[in-house]
Amino acid sequence: MKVRSVLYLPASNPRAIEKARGLDCDVAVLDLEDAVAPEAKSDARKAAIEAAMAGGFGPKLAVRINALDTPWAADDLDALKDAPVDLVVAPKIENEQQVKAISDVLRLDQRLWAMIETPKALVDLKDIAEAGGILSGLMLGVNDLAKELKTGASPDREPFKPWLAAVVAHARANKLLAIDGVFNRIKDEDGFMAEAQQGRLYGFDGKSLIHPSQITPANTAFGPSPVEIEWAQKIVAAFAAPEAAGLGVIRVDGEMVERLHLQQAQSLLADL
């Protein structure tokens, strides 16, 4: 499943929902949490369910519920368990019990992404990632995390680097997807691309987005470049040659390449 671009849209905004049907993001997340005022929660929930039932979404559809310690979470989960929604995003997950509690309510064919956005979640990251159930991904919630950690601004996310690596490591150890956090400066195209490339360097599968203008850059940053595709094709062709039969290591364009690189190349080309 490609998750290069994960776009948040307020479920309370009918125009945003309609627009999402024609966007090229890999996942569209109808948001019931931060983007919706308390007095609009019920109407937003109803709108999200109606949108899901109407269908027509090219991207994979997800819904972000309210945090479990809020008055709206139980109703969110109750509405979603019978809705045609494949993926549920849960904010402010802090322990494995919360993952299991959500898994017990939702259907077995639904999937859950847990948002990592509090210091408690970072401390208990291992337990969260190993919780099982319907958990299929970890998402970094950078805005709430920055607030709680009281970190300063940094163009290269210096205060977050240990946690970027930790989220990816725990995701990979448990065969989960890893989704990087949002970039707030919508007009800063160069800054977005730099941060997206950093996220890919750290191993994230994709990035959370707050505006449609970020979709194409995200798809580019988290997709293979022409140079990477060409290199992968060379590796596959070299190992397919008769003289490579039975060899574990060969030379391609003067570089030593192992069969683990062949597996990586085959995986990259399979996702095209």
pLDDT tens digits for range 80-124: 999 999 999 999 999 999 999 999 999 999 999 999 999 999 999
CA angle 19, 21, 22 (to 5 degrees): 75
pLDDT confidence band for 14 (50 / 70 / 90): very high
- In the chain the domains, ranked by start, together with CATH numbers, are 5-221 (3.20.20.60), 226-270 (no CATH)
Give the tens place of pLDDT for each residue, 241-258.
999 888 999 999 989 999
- pLDDT at residue 154 greater than cutoff 90: no
According to the model, what pLDDT value does residue 226 have? 86
Angle between helix axes 259-270 and 226-240 (nearest 10 degrees) is: 130
Work out whether the CA dihedral 73, 76, 78, 80 comes out positive or negative. negative
Segment 4-17 shows an average pLDDT of 94
Give pLDDT tens digits for 184-215.
999 999 999 999 999 999 999 999 999 999 99
Instruction: Say which residues have a Cβ less than 8 Å from residue 49's Cβ, sequence separation at least 6.
Output: 79, 80, 83
Q: Could you give the angle at the alpha carbon of 12 between the alpha carbons of 7 and 13, nearest 5°?
A: 70
pLDDT greater than 90 at residue 271: no
The confidence score (pLDDT) of residue 236 equals 93
Instruction: Please give the DSSP secondary-structure letter assigned to residue 151.
Output: P
Averaged pLDDT score across all residues of the chain:
95
Which H or E run includes 270? helix 259-270
Q: Which two tokens stand for residue 72?
A: 């709206």
Is residue 266 helix, strand or coil? Answer: helix
